[in-house]
Structures are given as C-alpha cells and as structure tokens.
A and B are shown apart, each in its own frame.
Chain A
Amino acid sequence: MPDSLPADSVGIVTPQTYHFDEPIDLACGQTLPSYDLVVETYGQLNADASNAVLICHALSGHHHAAGYHSKEDRKPGWWDSCIGPGKPIDTNRFFVVALNNLGGCHGSTGPNSLNPATGKQYGPDFPVVTVSDWVKSQALLADRLGIDTWAAVVGGSLGGMQALQWSLDYPDRLKHAVVIASTPRLTAQNIAFNEVARQSITTDREFHGGRYYDHNVVPRRGLMLARMVGHITYLSDASMGEKFGRELRNQAYTFGYDAEFQVESYLRYQGERFSETFDANTYLLMTRALDYFDPAYDHGGDLSKALAEASCEFLVVSFSTDWRFAPERSEELVNAMIGARRKVSYAEIDAPWGHDAFLIPTPRYTDVFHAYMDRIAREVGA
C-alpha cells in the first residue's frame, strides 16, 4: 500500500465467508451438499437495495477486487483501477459485491477444500462447475445479501461470460449486464491453449492424478508452464515488444538455454509466482468452465434465440489488440443481441495491451465505462 491511502481507494477491506448449507445441484449432475463463498463488499446498500453491482472474476481472479487487506499489501485488488470512490464503478453510489467463485482457491469451496464425505481435500473429486453453476451460486448469495435485483452484473473475460449467463438464467434479477473483453464461446484456438495448459499440469510428475495434497507436493512446474502460455495470450505482440523487445539480461548470447532474453525471465517469474499461490485443480476447473461456455448450444447454435430470454440492457466492450477474445467475438455477441432486439451498446477501445487491456484504465475505456455506470446510477437513484 502507498504511505497514505489514495482518495479514490475503497481503503482497507476485510473478506467475509458465507456458508451455505442447502445442497446445490450442478450442471454435471452432481450435488455439493454445502459450500462456502468468500465475499468482499464495497460501498453501502441503499434502502431499497437497488444499487447493488456484482463483480464476476476471470480465470485467476477472486473476491479481492479493490482496496487493500492491510497496510502491508503491496498491491490493491485486481480491479482497483475501476472500483472505488469516483471510479467507473463508483463506491459512493453503488454497493459492490465481489466473490471468489465455487471451485476457486482463495477461500470459497473448491478442490483444495475438505470433502465432508472423506475428511480429505476434494482434489479431482471436486465436480467440474460451469458458468451457469457459478451464476446459480451467485444468485443464492444475492438472496443472502437481500439483493433481489442487481443494478448491474459486470465482468471481464470469463467474468463477462458470467454477466451474460446472468441475463439468460435470471433475466428479472438484473437491470444491466456489462460484458468486457469476452466472447459468447471459445474458439478452437482458445480451447487449444487451454488444453496445453491442462496437459502441462496433468503430466507434471507431482500431479498425482490431482491428489497432490495427499503427497504434500504441488505440480509447480506444470502450473508454471500453464500460466506462462496463458500469460502470452493475455498480452499483444506489440505490448510484449514494447516491454521487452529482444532485450537480453546480459550483454551477449551465452549459447545456452537459460533465460537469456528479458521476456523469458519475465514469463518464468510470472509463472513461478503464480504456481506458489494458485491451485492446479482450480486452474483445470476454470479452463474447463471456459471451454464449456456456449449459451447458444441449447438453441441449435443460434445465439439470438438464446438471448431472446434476456431482458436486461447490455454494454459490450472489446479491445483492438485483444487476440484471445478478439473484437470480432464481441461483435458476434452484439449482433446476436441486435437480432434478438435487446438493447445493447458497444465500443471497441483502441488499446495496445491485448486481452489484459480490460484491467488497465485507458482514458477512453474509463470514459465509456464511467458514462454507462453513471447512467445506471441515475436510473436506480444511487
């Protein structure tokens, strides 16, 4: 944390755990008898509970979206650039809810939680959850928090998929869905990258079929490789070029295979750090949830038909250099919304940072986000 708290920060925040005792039926056919969801909230819920905004996280995200947990925190929450007093998701006006999704590894029930049936960690026995399952658990959380209708459900990437799924599964329970840097379904290339990530984890000798907890080891190499390949897809060629170019760590080639280029050492560092904090089974589960997401599937591949069930308004935002979920994917989504006569606004933001751009507050992105959220705030009297 900086020496003094920035004026536009939500400040020091403390996560809360909500325990659910009612079993939840999942898309895979299995049932979780009980589970925990870890949640952070920012701002105040107004008297008629009309100003609540749900933040849905992406692959490696969690409930800590804004502010600091303590003065010792080096970095704020993952979306601190967009959540806070006076920021696009203005905590002076909105009551913001961020959670760690089911299957996560930051406190909500997931593969590294204890399985009440065995007394051991779930590991590979934890069911594969889907975007729809997450939305269902988020709706139960909303019930618990006394929120009947969200002013908006907001998310980037995999989070955007949850916002979209909300509009289909609970059309009456949200006014707006904000879908940023997302896609209505993964392409073969997207799935291919996920498969490389999964293979690198599952073929790690320390993986032990997902029961590495029992062996007191972690498939660190596999998780590291998975993160490295994932990280490449989050950046653009140009942004990597600008950040690293062909810069060497030392003056000259060493004619060996150590990390000689800066980009190599960066990726290794990112991968290593990630492997220390993230659970391999959760990574498998999250990538599978991404692969399976396809709301048009049940409607013969017709996304417009799927969207006919939605009644909220949509904001869709894409970024020019995002090749993971390219602007064309957002346009596909927008066109289906137009076909279904849903009210949608769309902007393609010119930004050099690839998929990661949704986390970086470029002026136009901030303007668009601000204008749209400001209008929602006025609409709900926040």
Chain B
Amino acid sequence: MRPDLDIIQQWIRPGYHVLDLGCGDGTLLDYLQRERGASGFGLEINPDHITTCMGRGVAVIEQNLDTQGLGNFDDGSFDVVLMTQALQAVRRPDKVLDEMLRVGREGIVTFPNFAHWRLRWGLALSGRMPESDALPYKWYNTPNIRLCTFKDFEALCRQKGIRITSRRVVDGQHQNSWLARLWPNLLGEIAIYRITRENEQ
C-alpha cells in the first residue's frame, strides 16, 4: 500500500463509516473494509478507477466534487472523511474542508507541500515553476490548481476554527524522518493531517 495510506489506515477504528473523496482505485477502502470492518463510499470521476473499484467490491459513486459538492450527504453521516492527494486539485479547498467536516465527525487530509526545499530551490535557481515526483506536471496542464504549503493549510484551519488533532510529515519516500519533524515546512514533502470541529474530549 502507498505509505501515506498505510499511515491513514492506522487511524481508522473498526466499524467506521468512511467517505473517501477521490478514492482512486479503491485500495484504501478495500483494505479498510477487509481489515477494519469499515463501511462507506468512495467518490471518483476517473472511469478506469471507478471500474477497478467496482471490480473489487468497493462502493464507488461517480461524483465530481467541484460541480456537485457533497450536498447529497447528510450532516454527521460519516465517522471520517478522507481526502488523499486531492485537496490541491479542487477549485475551492476551503469549501471542501467545510463540507468534509459537515458530513464527517473527523477529516483526514493529505497533500504535497509546496514549500519543500527542493521546490523552493528549483524556483529560486531556474526561475521556472517547480516540478517534483509529488508534482510531476507542467504549469499549464497540472490538475493541481490550488497548491499550498503546510503553513498555509494550518493558517486556513486556524481561520476556520478547525482543530488539527495530528499531523504526520513525511518525505518523498514517506519516511517520517527526524529532520522533517524538525523543519516540516522546509523538509516535509507530504503531510497527513487529522482535523475536526469537535471539541477536545
């Protein structure tokens, strides 16, 4: 399993009702169903991914977050709403976060850090839009239209009164190195956040 998914699965309690926004080929949901007794749905728009999900028994709904939102899901109807590597690709990440925490008690979000030193370095040296393994596109064809840094994301959460209950920062190999822990916004490539609007218990 992709290492970020491996970290996420450890946070899912048995029997959780899960909504996975941009569920890809359903690897994570499939695992959660089998190993955690979780239930739930994945939303996806890529036809090949949808077919793969159906073939492996993952309940997948063809639904576009940008145009259709999450209006068809009731308040608090999921234990957790996941969004892995897709926040940077939606038109209004701020609204998606609001919606995630409306339909779910908790959210788990992962995205690439635009302030990683290699990207900063690339931009500083070449004066061109940076590319990396996590962001392998050209500026004109990238689906990643809302790139942000860890600091940006945390500022948005503060502004919205969203509580970050955990954060794991990993490098390109998804290793949780001590350096990345020390200077996450510079050395971390991908962050995995757990967020909620619920008060601390």
Q: Which chain A residues have a beta carbon within 8 Å of chain B's beta carbons?
A: 313, 315, 331, 334-335, 338-339, 341, 343-348, 364, 367-368, 371-372, 374-375, 379
Question: A327 — nearest CB in chain B belongs to which residue?
Answer: B62
Check A341/B52 contact, CB under 8 A, given A347-B62, A348-B62, A364-B47.
no
Query: Chain A's nearest CB lies how many Å from the CB of B72?
Result: 4
Q: Which chain B residues have a beta carbon within 8 Å of chain A's beta carbons?
A: 17, 39, 41, 47, 50-63, 72-74, 77
Question: B57 — nearest CB in chain A belongs to which residue?
Answer: A375
**A344 and B59 within 8 A (CB):** yes
- Could you tell me the distance between the alpha carbons of A376 and B153 in the complex, rounded to whole angstroms? 42
Check A371/B51 contact, CB under 8 A, given A341-B39, A345-B59, A345-B61.
yes
- Could you tell me the distance between the alpha carbons of A334 and B54 in the complex, rounded to whole angstroms? 15
**B59 and A343 within 8 A (CB):** yes
**A338 and B41 within 8 A (CB):** yes
Question: Which residues of A lie under 8 Å from residue B72 when comparing CB positions?
Answer: 331, 334-335, 338
- Could you tell me the distance between the alpha carbons of A338 and B63 in the complex, rounded to whole angstroms? 13
Question: Which residues of A lie under 8 Å from residue B55 when comparing CB positions?
Answer: 371-372, 374-375
Check A372/B73 contact, CB under 8 A, given A343-B59, A345-B61.
no
Query: Chain B's nearest CB lies how many Å from the CB of A321?
Result: 16
Query: Chain B's nearest CB lies how many Å from the CB of A116?
Result: 47
> How many pairs, one residue from A and one from B, have CB atoms within 8 Å of each other in the complex?
54
Query: Chain B's nearest CB lies how many Å from the CB of A89?
Result: 15
- Could you tell me the distance between the alpha carbons of A368 and B52 in the complex, rounded to whole angstroms? 9
Check A346/B74 contact, CB under 8 A, given A338-B41, A364-B47.
no
From A331, A335, A345, A367, give the contact of B60 (CB < 8 A).
A345
Having A344-B59, A364-B51, A368-B54, one finds 20 other A-B pairs with CB under 8 Å, namely: A315-B54, A334-B72, A335-B72, A338-B61, A338-B72, A341-B17, A344-B41, A345-B53, A346-B60, A346-B61, A346-B62, A347-B47, A347-B62, A367-B47, A367-B51, A371-B51, A371-B55, A374-B55, A375-B55, A379-B57
From A331, A341, A375, give the contact of B54 (CB < 8 A).
A375
Question: A313 — nearest CB in chain B belongs to which residue?
Answer: B59
Query: Chain A's nearest CB lies how many Å from the CB of B63?
Result: 8
Query: Chain B's nearest CB lies how many Å from the CB of A201?
Result: 38
The 8 closest A-B pairs by CB, nearest first: A371-B55, A335-B72, A371-B54, A372-B54, A371-B51, A343-B59, A346-B61, A367-B51
Query: Chain B's nearest CB lies how many Å from the CB of A81?
Result: 18
Question: Which residues of A lie under 8 Å from residue B77 when comparing CB positions?
Answer: 339
- Could you tell me the distance between the alpha carbons of A344 and B61 in the complex, rounded to whole angstroms? 8
- Could you tell me the distance between the alpha carbons of A108 and B62 in the complex, rounded to whole angstroms? 38
Query: Chain A's nearest CB lies how many Å from the CB of B152?
Result: 32
Question: Which residues of A lie under 8 Å from residue B60 when comparing CB positions?
Answer: 345-346
- Could you tell me the distance between the alpha carbons of A335 and B58 in the complex, rounded to whole angstroms? 17
Question: B71 — nearest CB in chain A belongs to which residue?
Answer: A335
Question: B48 — nearest CB in chain A belongs to which residue?
Answer: A367
Question: Which residues of B lie under 8 Å from residue A335 when comparing CB positions?
Answer: 72
- Could you tell me the distance between the alpha carbons of A335 and B72 in the complex, rounded to whole angstroms? 6
Question: Which residues of A lie under 8 Å from residue B41 when comparing CB positions?
Answer: 338, 344
- Could you tell me the distance between the alpha carbons of A173 and B77 in the complex, rounded to whole angstroms? 28
Query: Chain B's nearest CB lies how many Å from the CB of A119?
Result: 52
**B51 and A368 within 8 A (CB):** yes
Question: Which residues of B lie under 8 Å from residue A331 when comparing CB positions?
Answer: 72
- Enumerate 20 A-B pairs (CB-CB under 8 Å) in ascending A order: A334-B61, A335-B72, A338-B61, A338-B72, A339-B74, A341-B39, A343-B39, A343-B59, A345-B50, A345-B54, A345-B58, A345-B59, A346-B62, A347-B47, A347-B50, A347-B62, A367-B51, A368-B50, A371-B52, A375-B56
Question: A346 — nearest CB in chain B belongs to which residue?
Answer: B61
Query: Chain B's nearest CB lies how many Å from the CB of A375?
Result: 5
- Could you tell me the distance between the alpha carbons of A23 and B39 in the complex, rounded to whole angstroms? 42
Question: B43 — nearest CB in chain A belongs to which residue?
Answer: A346
- Could you tell me the distance between the alpha carbons of A353 and B154 in the complex, rounded to whole angstroms? 48
**B54 and A338 within 8 A (CB):** no
- Could you tell me the distance between the alpha carbons of A351 and B50 in the complex, rounded to whole angstroms? 17
- Could you tell me the distance between the alpha carbons of A294 and B138 in the complex, rounded to whole angstroms? 51
Query: Chain A's nearest CB lies how many Å from the CB of B49?
Result: 11
Question: Which residues of B lie under 8 Å from residue A338 when comparing CB positions?
Answer: 41, 61, 72-73
Question: A347 — nearest CB in chain B belongs to which residue?
Answer: B62
Query: Chain B's nearest CB lies how many Å from the CB of A176?
Result: 11
Question: B63 — nearest CB in chain A belongs to which residue?
Answer: A346
- Could you tell me the distance between the alpha carbons of A70 and B60 in the complex, rounded to whole angstroms? 42
Query: Chain B's nearest CB lies how many Å from the CB of A307?
Result: 14
Query: Chain A's nearest CB lies how many Å from the CB of B36?
Result: 16
Question: A335 — nearest CB in chain B belongs to which residue?
Answer: B72
- Could you tell me the distance between the alpha carbons of A343 and B54 in the complex, rounded to whole angstroms? 11
Question: Which residues of A lie under 8 Å from residue B56 when comparing CB positions?
Answer: 375
